[in-house]
């Protein structure tokens, strides 16, 4: 049976290195092998940004540009906007009857995100919205409306796939064997650390290098990156494995990574010189992406690519929804139109 990949990102800002090394790099490989749908999840972005629709709107195009500049090819993948597929919202409502509130609260991904929200914003549980708590249900709708059966995720997102599988099993048990149970396509590199050493690079964490960052910004950010705190003087020996500069050298510096490691361990390299070297490699790494991005912007083709991708996604979603409604006995007027 044909393998269909469904994946995507929330348009809340430009993409950063974490998005590229943790997700999009893998999607670029997957597009060669599978039928791939890439969702720009604006409805999901609104769960946290419902009072800032302009931000979400602006970033839909920004994220699409980043995707294309990173090598996602609209001839091979279908890039679409979530809100333009009403079937997803419809299916979310149907699925909401199949999931208990208690089960959503037990979802480990949701638990972690609630904890992070409390730490960041001091939210108590009472201020969580219904939309936020229900986003795993909406994700199940995203996946199943495209018949997706391979979902690239990091380990922390496995509970979301499990939640989707449960919904599918319950749906099929009640309404007939209509939906496919998705499988996780685990990407062990899905999490990229931040400049401050945080386990996750994130815009809201202020520890990210964005793909659109100019050389000056890249330089400032790298100069403030966390290094081995034990190294005080230039010729102190250090442990590169606890240093974020070395961590990023490993990502973008193919040439002399073993030299960086040895010189650091033997006290033969100062942190300032090491950071300057990384800045050069990082700027070189970002340059072709930024050039491609500029070219795409000048060609003004992004709107058309999004429109065509969304139309293709709409057709697929309609096809699935027809079967779903038949199985749920809510296809009232189909008989009349036959």
Q: How many residues does the chain have?
A: 338
d(CA 89, CA 97): 14
> Residues 215, 283: contact at Cβ < 8 Å?
yes
Nearer to ligand SF4, 40 or 238 (CB): 238
Min separation Cβ 227 and ligand SF4, Å: 4
Min separation Cβ 223 and ligand SF4, Å: 10
Residue 248 interacting with ligand SF4 (CB under 6 A): no
User: 322-331 — which CB contacts under 8 Å span 24+ positions?
Assistant: 323/178, 324/91, 324/94, 324/175, 324/178, 324/179, 327/175, 327/176, 327/178, 328/94, 328/175
Examine the residue annotation and report whether 111 is marked as an active-site residue of this protein: no
Choose the stretch contacting ligand SF4; rule: CB under 6 A; options: 77-85, 129-137, 241-249, 311-319. Answer: 241-249
Choose the stretch contacting ligand SF4; rule: CB under 6 A; options: 104-112, 199-207, 240-248, 287-295. Answer: 240-248
Strand partners, 37: 6, 78
- The residue from 246, 252, 281, 310 that contacts ligand SF4 (CB under 6 A) is 246
If residue 77 lies in a helix (H) or strand (E), which one and from where to where? strand 77-81
Min separation Cβ 253 and ligand SF4, Å: 11
- The residue from 10, 221, 231, 325 that contacts ligand SF4 (CB under 6 A) is 231
- The residue from 133, 164, 245, 252 that contacts ligand SF4 (CB under 6 A) is 245
> Residues 102, 333: contact at Cβ < 8 Å?
no
Residue 187, C-beta contacts closer than 8 angstroms, at least 6 positions apart: 22, 23, 26, 152, 153, 154
Q: Which of 76, 200, 292, 312 is catalytic?
A: 200
- Work out the widest C-alpha separation in the chain, in whole angstroms: 83
Examine the residue annotation and report whether 117 is marked as an active-site residue of this protein: yes
Min separation Cβ 278 and ligand SF4, Å: 8
Nearer to ligand SF4, 205 or 223 (CB): 223
Beta strands in 82-158, from DSSP E residues, in sequence order: 150-153
Choose the stretch contacting ligand SF4; rule: CB under 6 A; options: 55-63, 67-75, 103-111, 270-278. Answer: 270-278
Q: How many CB atoms lie within 10 A of CB 224?
A: 12
Residue 240 interacting with ligand SF4 (CB under 6 A): yes
Nearer to ligand SF4, 198 or 327 (CB): 198
- The residue from 9, 264, 283, 317 that contacts ligand SF4 (CB under 6 A) is 264
Min separation Cβ 268 and ligand SF4, Å: 9
Binding mask 194-213 for ligand SF4 (x = CB under 6 A): --------------------
Q: Which of 3, 117, 118, 323 is catalytic?
A: 117
Pick from 133, 130, 140, 129: nearest CA to 104:
133
> Residues 159, 58: contact at Cβ < 8 Å?
no
Nearer to ligand SF4, 39 or 228 (CB): 228
Integer angstrom CA distances of residue 333 from 245, 317, 323, 337? 63, 19, 14, 6
d(CA 148, CA 180): 7
Q: How many CB atoms lie within 10 A of CB 230?
A: 10
- The residue from 24, 164, 167, 271 that contacts ligand SF4 (CB under 6 A) is 271
Choose the stretch contacting ligand SF4; rule: CB under 6 A; options: 121-129, 175-183, 202-210, 269-277. Answer: 269-277
Q: Which of 3, 193, 203, 323 is catalytic?
A: 203
Nearer to ligand SF4, 99 or 243 (CB): 243
Report the alpha-carbon angle 304-309-315, nearest 5.
Answer: 130
Examine the residue annotation and report whether 203 is marked as an active-site residue of this protein: yes
Q: Give residues in contact with ligand SF4 (CB under 6 A).
A: 227-228, 231, 238, 240, 243, 245-246, 264, 269, 271, 274-275
Query: Mind telling me the catalytic residues?
Result: 117, 200, 203
């Amino acid at each position: 049976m044909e393998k269909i990949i469904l994946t995507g990102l929330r348009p809340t800002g430009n993409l950063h290195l974490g998005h590229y090394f943790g997700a999009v790099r893998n999607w670029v490989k997957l597009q060669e092998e599978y039928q791939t749908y890439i969702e720009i999840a604006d409805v999901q972005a609104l769960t946290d940004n419902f009072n800032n629709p302009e931000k979400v709107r602006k970033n839909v195009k920004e994220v699409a540009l980043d995707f294309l500049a990173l090598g996602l090819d609209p001839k091979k993948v279908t890039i679409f906007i979530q809100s333009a597929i009403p079937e997803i919202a419809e299916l979310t409502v149907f699925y909401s009857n199949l999931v208990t509130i208690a089960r959503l609260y037990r979802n480990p991904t949701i638990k972690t995100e609630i904890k992070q929200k409390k730490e960041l914003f001091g939210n108590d549980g009472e201020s969580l919205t219904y939309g936020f708590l229900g986003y795993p249900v909406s994700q199940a709708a995203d996946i199943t409306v495209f018949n997706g059966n391979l979902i690239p995720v990091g380990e922390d997102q496995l509970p979301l796939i499990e939640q989707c599988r449960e919904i599918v099993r319950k749906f099929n048990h009640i309404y007939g064997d209509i939906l496919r149970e998705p499988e996780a396509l685990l990407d062990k590199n899905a999490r990229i650390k931040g400049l401050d050493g945080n386990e996750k690079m994130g815009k809201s964490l202020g520890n990210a290098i964005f793909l659109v960052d100019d050389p000056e910004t890249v330089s400032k950010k790298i100069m403030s990156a966390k290094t081995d705190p034990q190294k005080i003087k230039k010729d102190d020996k250090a442990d590169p494995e606890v240093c974020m500069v070395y961590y990023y050298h490993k990502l973008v510096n193919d040439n002399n990574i073993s030299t960086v490691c040895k010189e650091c361990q033997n006290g033969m390299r100062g942190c300032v010189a090491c950071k300057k070297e990384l800045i050069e490699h990082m700027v070189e790494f970002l340059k072709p992406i930024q050039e491609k991005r500029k070219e795409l912007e000048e060609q003004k083709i992004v709107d058309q690519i999004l429109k065509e991708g969304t139309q293709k996604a709409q057709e697929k979603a309609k096809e699935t929804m027809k079967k779903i409604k038949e199985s749920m006995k809510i296809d009232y007027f189909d008989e009349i139109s036959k």
